[in-house]
């Protein structure tokens, strides 16, 4: 579904990502794990076309995206959920959902969004400022699905969430996976990553140094936690 070949990226003269190569198959949930500064978020921004100082190839469902601007990548089916969630605080939940145009190939109608995220139906008249961190994360994911994304790029979705909200987010992502969505998740919470993902790519100093399944992550948890510095 998503293939990345030879991705490298720079900030000025400083190289942040070096020859990244990986694949995400249809319906998989894959994580990029690594400590702060490893290049995880930069990789997502490159995939979405938000960081243009890069080389390499990005292919979505057989279509080459590398030269396309971000809006055309969204039309092709990429959906990006940034770590700041991007909620319009003065708009209601429903206005946040309705504001972006539906551009991708698998656009969710509003009733489907509310079936998948009942908490948003219950809060649909409330403003973004009245939502908890977990509810804001649900809204940011649901908004991208309504736009028509077939592949979700999620940047640190558990950051700043209380444990009970992390558990709710876990169930949301597993429900989305059961709907057949393909997801690439940047995450530092190793236990959360193993609870939701099929495979994991470990980044260090801008490179993928290992590809692991969840059983390998669990078996090496203490070693990997030391590597991540958490």
pLDDT one-digit tens code per residue, 84-142: 778 888 899 999 999 888 887 888 899 988 988 888 999 999 998 788 888 888 899 89
pLDDT one-digit tens code per residue, 154-180: 998 888 788 888 888 888 888 888 878
Architecture (CATH level 2) of domain 2-82+150-228: 3-Layer(aba) Sandwich (3.40)
CB 204 within 8 A of CB 37: no
Neighbours of 199 (CB within 10 A): 18
Residue 167's pLDDT is 86
Residue 24's pLDDT is 94
- The reported pTM is 0.89
Domain spans, the chain = 2-82+150-228
**Taking CA 13 as the corner, what is the angle to CA 8 and CA 17, rounded to the nearest 5 degrees?**
25
pLDDT one-digit tens code per residue, 188-201: 888 888 888 999 99
Residue 229's pLDDT is 64
Per cent of the chain over pLDDT 90 is 46
Query: How far apart, in whole angstroms, are the C-alpha atoms of residue 4 and residue 163?
Result: 33
Residue 230 has pLDDT above 60, yes or no: no
């Amino acid at each position: 579904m998503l293939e990345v070949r030879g991705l490298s990226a720079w900030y000025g003269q400083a190289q942040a990502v070096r020859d990244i190569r990986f694949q995400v198959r249809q319906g998989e949930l894959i994580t990029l794990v690594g400590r702060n500064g490893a290049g995880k978020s930069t990789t997502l921004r490159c995939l979405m076309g938000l960081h243009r100082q890069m080389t390499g190839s990005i292919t979505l469902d057989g279509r080459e995206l590398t030269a396309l601007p971000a809006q055309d990548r969204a039309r092709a089916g990429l959906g990006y959920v940034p770590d700041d969630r991007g909620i319009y605080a003065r708009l209601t939940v429903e206005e946040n959902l309705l504001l972006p145009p539906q551009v991708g190939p698998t656009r969710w109608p509003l009733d489907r969004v509310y079936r998948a995220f009942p908490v948003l139906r219950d809060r649909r008249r409330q403003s973004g400022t009245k939502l908890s961190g977990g509810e804001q994360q649900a809204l940011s994911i649901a908004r991208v699905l309504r736009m028509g994304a077939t592949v979700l790029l999620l940047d640190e979705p558990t950051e700043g969430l209380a444990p009970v909200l992390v558990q709710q987010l876990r169930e949301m992502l597993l429900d989305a996976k059961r709907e057949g969505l393909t997801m690439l998740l940047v995450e530092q919470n190793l236990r959360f990553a193993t609870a939701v993902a099929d495979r994991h790519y470990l980044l260090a100093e801008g490179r993928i140094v290992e590809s692991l399944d969840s059983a390998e992550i669990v078996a090496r948890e203490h070693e990997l936690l030391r590597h991540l510095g958490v």
